[in-house]
Structure 1
Amino acid sequence: MKVRVITKADIQANLAMSEVIPMVKKAYRALATQQVIMPPRLQIPVEEKEGVTLFMPAYLKQENALGSKIVSVFPHNAQFKRPTINAVFLLISSETGVPLALMEASWLTALRTGAASGVATEYLARTEAKIAAIFGAGVQGRTQLLAVSHVQPLTKVWVYDPNREAARNFVKEMKTWGSSVPSEILVASSPQEAIKEADIICTATTATRPVFNGADVKPGTHINAIGSFTPEMQELPEDIITKAKIVVDSRPACLEEAGDIIIPWRQGLITPQDIYGEIGEIVLGSLPGRVDDEEITVFKSVGLAIQDVIVAQLILEKAQQHNFGQEVEL
């Protein structure tokens, strides 16, 4: 059999955030209309390294898109200047079951995760939102900014990371991305400085405790929380969860995996009924998004395999059209 091998460089050179956001929106719509098969992802913890490897299969029926991602998250890699997230994706023919493509998937993951926040920001942020705060100066933080900037005309961005060198490098690199992001990108000296004027907050960290104080969040703020994906991880303070409109990518997934939801639930501060809805329901129009300029909205995402599959299918289609990647006989 022949399998097309697609590298990270191939994807970076040929796939734009403007193409990914509509695909992720389509995946959320498919989930809301029950047109997907998506088992709970299998997590294999590597406790001695505080890492985890995830196996994430999915099938989108109407799109004929089938495949699985294997992704590892090892937070301590950053100490050795290695990527925290490493991943591959295997795309499979839904007609024959034959493997079609194997692609590097850390950039795919970053793009689709950013796109998820782009979709949520489109429906949940105030239309006049202009200033964003990014927590986490890694790859995910970069694509969060890229996606939010695509759907919202930002004028200023604050970035906070406990590693100030990482934050400075973030600013330096993002300033080279041209008009796709705001020209004014600043390093915040504290979480409070980052969010004091923020209309949109994106958290993209591996934190196990809240990364900012809920009292510092102003009314009308929209928050994209994408870093917490295990019950022990937490980015958002409980007092934000208890007063915000909570929108999730998947109720079952977030109630099983998202510490930002599970921790206050275990404390008796919220119940599953306090989740307003899934983003797909809002995309479909069966639920309204933001209803006034004062409410605080939270989009909690743990990441779904359907996002990976639909974006991987797009990557293969583009590879076939533009002849990138390498076909390998197995």
Structure 2
Amino acid sequence: MQFLNRAEVTEHLSMQAAIDTIEQLLHQQANHPSWIKSPERLVIETFSEDLYGDQIDSDQSSTNKTKHSSGSHLSMPATIYDGEQEYTAVKLVTICPDNPSRDLPTTTAIITVSNNATGEILAVMDGVYITQVRTAALSGIATKYMAADNCQRIAVIGCGGMAYEQLHAVLTVRPGIKIVYLWNRSMQGAEEFKTQFARDYPQWKIELRVCEQLEEALKDADIINLATRSDTGLFSTQQIKPNVHINAVGAYLPSMKEVSNDVIENSSMVVVDDLAGCRHEAGDLIQAHKAANCAWTWDDLSGDLQALVTGKLTNKFNKSEPSITLFKSVGAASFDAAVALYVAQLAEQQNLGTSLS
């Protein structure tokens, strides 16, 4: 059994490898649906005001007055059969919104990968970077198939950990991008993002511009990356170009929303990564479907990422025609499992990480 810490996973998992691995998974799911089993993930809200109300504060002693923002814990198992062997990957995730103030990532995670024939655990690895990369890879894949080929400007709205690799993924599939507009509720967060991204990814010859106003970041963007915890739609169709592609990976609870109903109902294509997961967790689409003054419903959904990659949606849109396209992602255990299995097999082949008996 190999143990890989975050630095080792980061060093050996490339964005292109993650994109290729997930595309292969999507084709495999289409050809052999029974080979991948991914039950709906278990989500437990943590420090939820709905559960505790004021009880948290009243129960705390005078020596322990720490208050936590509501977050969530996720348990995500999946099995993958590759035609010869079957594997199980299990990811345990805790989302802690207060962690940036502690200089810690908002998302913490660990993943185990085992061989189902013997039950042997092949690898245990830090799951933070895998979560960020697989989420980003989904946006990269959607951008590859949905965004115009000649995109040159992208807006990054929300400059947290997920946004970091999401930008890297979009640049991987659209290397012609020249300008990146950054907007964050905290200007300091956007400035830190700019400095860190330029340092870590010098291969991208891009201009990074921090914008004080959201509208400034949006107005000229050919692609918009969203990764926020907003509970209100952030912009309307009047504030964006008529031929923009949007990747929305925030708003992962029904109560959250970063894409307005106006934008959703005016999108020529709305594609999701996981149908079952989005119906339960994609706050943007759930609220649009329920809103009496919104024309969009689940019946208007174009399809999922698998249908997009395998060509089943090619007749539904034309990238050369100006239109708004939207990709909504909440994540699924099968995506984590595919990327984690790739890392586990690479670790076994190259003796990466620390070997544990």
With structure 1 as the length reference, what TM-score do the two structures score? 0.95
Q: CA deviation at 1:178?
A: 4.1
Does structure 1 conserve the Cα–Cα contact (< 8 Å) formed by 2:140 and 2:173?
yes
Over aligned residue pairs, what C-alpha RMSD do you find?
1.5
**Structure 1 equivalent of residue 26 of structure 2:** 28
Instruction: Give 2:111's match in structure 1, choosing from 84, 89, 97.
Output: 89
Inter-partner Cα distance in structure 2 for 1:176 and 1:7? 22
Question: Which residue of the partner structure matches residue 224 of structure 2?
Answer: 201
CA contact (8 A) 1:125 1:290 kept: no
CA contact (8 A) 1:253 1:302 kept: yes
- Give unmatched runs, 5+ long, in structure 2: 50-68
Deviations 1:18-70 (A, max 9, x none): 11110111222334442421101001111153010000111122363321101
CA distance in 1, matches of 2:236, 2:183: 13
Q: Name the counterpart of 1:271.
A: 297
Change (3 A) 1:78 1:213: farther
Percent identical residues: 31
For 1:211 and 1:192, the matched residues in 2 are separated by 10
Alignment partner of 1:214 is 2:237: yes
Q: After superposition, what is the alpha-carbon deviation per residue over 1:296-316, rounded to whole angstroms, capped at 9, x for unaligned?
A: 100001011111111111111
Deviates more, 1:51-60 or 1:25-34: 25-34
Name the counterpart of 2:75: 55
Using the TM superposition, give the Cα deviation of residue 180 of structure 1 relative to its aligned residue in structure 2, in angstroms. Answer: 3.8
* CA distance in 2 between partners of 1:182 and 1:113 (Å): 23
- The structure with the larger Rg is 2
| Per-residue deviation, residues 127-165 of structure 1 (Å, max 9, x unmatched) | 111110111111211101100001002111011101111
CA distance in 1, matches of 2:266, 2:154: 21
Name the CA distance, whole Å, in 1 between partners of 2:103 and 2:76: 26
Secondary structure of 2:134's match? helix
Q: TM-score, normalised by structure 2?
A: 0.88
Q: 1:182 to 1:203 in 2, by over 3 A?
A: farther
Give the one of 213, 233, 238 matched to 1:190.
213
Q: In 1, are the aligned partners of 2:106 and 2:161 still within 8 Å (CA)?
A: no
C-alpha distance in structure 1 between counterparts of 2:329 and 2:205, whole Å? 25
Farther-moved stretch of structure 1 (48-57 vs 147-156): 48-57
Specify which of 208, 220, 235 is matched with residue 258 of structure 2.
235
Q: How many residues align?
A: 327
Corresponding position of 1:287: 313
Find the residue that maps to 1:236 and give its secondary structure.
Answer: coil
Cα offset, 1:290, TM superposition:
4.0
The secondary structure found in structure 2 opposite 1:227 is coil
Residue in structure 2 matched with residue 41 of structure 1 by the alignment: 41
Q: State how far apart, in whole Å, the 1-side matches of 2:189 and 2:179 are.
A: 19
Aligned-pair CA distance for 1:177: 3.2
- Is the contact between residue 237 and residue 266 of structure 2 (CA under 8 Å) also seen in structure 1? no
CA contact (8 A) 1:146 1:180 kept: no
CA-CA distance at 1:179 after TM superposition = 4.6
Structure 1 residues 104-113 or 290-299, which shifts more? 290-299
